Amino acid sequence: MEAVTKIIEQQIDDEIDKLDRLEVSDLEAIRRKRIEEMKKRADKKKEWVKNGHGSYTEITDEKEFFEITKQSENVCCHFYKEDTFRCKIVDKHLAELAPKHVECRFIKFDVMKAPFLTTRLSIRVIPTIVCVKEGKTKDFIVGFEDLGNCDDFSNEMMEWRLGLSDVIEYKGDLLTPPTGKDGKSKTTFIPKATKTIKCGRWNDEDSEDSD
């Protein structure tokens, strides 16, 4: 243990030494690079907002779904039914997350208006969130099982789960789900680095409403 600590301390000392030996010209180059990165990010955000990012909106036809998934790199689509209570809960969380994560396009789609998509994506449980990245179906959040299997899960829980789908830039630890007021995590979902779904989805026995 002591040997490992010494190695870590030496690595830190080496990094500090490198920074100390940087010349003014080096620091200026780093500063210019950082400013350039910030400008590119700002331009990207403007482009995202122009394309409808930053808000949670409803689409009404299947052609629009495909146009959006081609236009935006990251898309989170909530397939819902008007008379399903849990869909209202999902609406609340996604509406709060949309302005926070402009890197992702947040949309909702009434399954009654999407017969082709619901068949193609095997959507039989409502609510279902479909995560699309670079035009490909990346992940499905079916019902509330991954979110703690309860109706009062936190917005942080939804954010964490979408972070696992890689459609938003999650700032926390993806391997550690958020905890409730009791300090314990309510979800039993275990993230797997190798899990990628392109054409299928998980079992749908967890949700109370189905078509």
Q: Residue 113 has what pLDDT?
A: 96
Structural contact between residues 125 and 204, judged by C-beta atoms closer than 8 angstroms: yes
The two three-digit tokens of residue 143, written as one number? 């019902």
Question: What is the chain's percent helix, strand, coil content, to nearest 5?
Answer: 45, 15, 40
d(CA 148, CA 173): 17
d(CA 36, CA 18): 23
Structural contact between residues 87 and 40, judged by C-beta atoms closer than 8 angstroms: no
Whose structure tokens read 């680095």?
193
State the chain's mean pLDDT as an integer.
82
Pairing of strands 125-126, 209-210: antiparallel
d(CA 144, CA 126): 10
Task: Give the bridge partners for 140, in sequence order.
Answer: 130
d(CA 158, CA 93): 7
DSSP string over 31-60: HHHHHHHHHHHHHHHHHHHHTTTTSEEEE-
CATH class, 53-210 region: alpha beta
The pLDDT tens digits for 154-210 are: 999 999 999 999 999 999 889 888 876 555 556 656 554 333 333 333 233 334 444
d(CA 85, CA 152): 12
The pLDDT tens digits for 118-157 are: 999 999 999 999 999 999 999 999 999 999 889 999 999 9
Kindly list the domain boundaries of the chain, sorted by start residue: 53-210
Q: For residue 5, what are the contacts with CB-CB under 8 A and spacing of at least 6?
A: none
Q: Residue 56 has what pLDDT?
A: 97
pLDDT at residue 2 tops 90: no
Q: Residue 40 has what pLDDT?
A: 80
d(CA 189, CA 3): 37
The pLDDT tens digits for 46-84 are: 888 888 999 999 999 999 999 999 999 999 999 999 999
Q: Residue 210 has what pLDDT?
A: 41
The pLDDT tens digits for 10-46 are: 777 777 666 666 666 666 777 777 777 778 877 888 8
